[in-house]
Structures are given as structure tokens and as C-alpha cells.
Amino acid sequence: MTSRVVATVAIAGVATYLIRWSFVAVAARTTTLPMWASRALRMIPPAMLAALVTPAVLRGPGGFDPWSYKTIAAALTGVLMWRTGRADVALVAGMALATVASIAS
């Protein structure tokens, strides 16, 4: 496993650094991107993050499983984050609900 960790860190680390460095390396005073490119860039965070949330919440060991405690806990976290902007509060509340529900089931 150690060699797998090293290989993963190396590849992911280099790739992530290149992403971070990409435009900064060029750093012209006015980075004029074509319109479609700047639109696409702006859509990356909401798309990526949503794609990471939904399968983990709405799926279980047996496949699509939308009616689980996970959905309710995630809804609580989402609403709290939306209303208060407090990541710590939202996370603790969601995890607390999930823990209670998980122990109860």
C-alpha cells in the first residue's frame, strides 16, 4: 500500500500543482479568455461539488436509495449552510443527526 500511496500523492500532487500554477505562470496583466472559456471555468465549482455530493447521499450499498437518514441529514446541513453560512454548525448538525439515526437503526 505504501507504494500506492506514494504514487497517488506524486501524480495527484503534480497534477494539482499544475492546475494551481496554470494561469499564474503566464500572469499577464489582462488575461483575456474567450467568453466560452470563462463561462466554463465559472461553472466548474458548482458542477464538481454537486457531483461529489449526490451519489454518496442518494445511493447505498444496494444502489439508488433516496429514502435514508443520509438524505435528511444532508438536507439539514444544506439548509443550515444556506441560512447561516456557518460551515462548522452545518457540519456538526448533519453529523449529529446522522450519528443518532445510524445508531438507532
Partner 1 sequence: MLGDVDHRRAVRAGLVAVAPLMAGVIPFGLVFGATAADHGFGAWTVAAFSVGVFAGASQIAAVDLLAGHAPVWVAAGTAAVINLRMLLYSASLAPWWADEPPGRRAVAAYFLTDQAYAVSIARYPVAEAGEDRLAFYFGAGVGLWTMWQLTTQLGLALGATIPADVPIAFAIPLVFLVLAVPAVRDRATAVAAITAGTVAVAAAGLPANSGLLLAAVCGITAGVVAEMRAEHGTVGGAS
Beta-bridge mates of residue 101: none
Q: With CB under 8 A, what is the number of residues at the site for partner 1?
A: 73
64 in helix, strand or coil? Answer: strand
Q: Which three cell numbers stand for residue 37?
A: 472559456
Nearest to 75 by CA among 59, 97, 55: 97
Work out whether 7 is an interface residue with partner 1 (CB under 8 A).
yes
Work out whether 11 is an interface residue with partner 1 (CB under 8 A).
yes
**Least distance (Å) from partner 1 to the CB of residue 84?**
10
Q: What character string, x for contact with partner 1 (CB under 8 A) and - otherwise, covers 39-78? A: xxxxxxxxxxxxxxxxxxxxx----x-----x--xx--xx
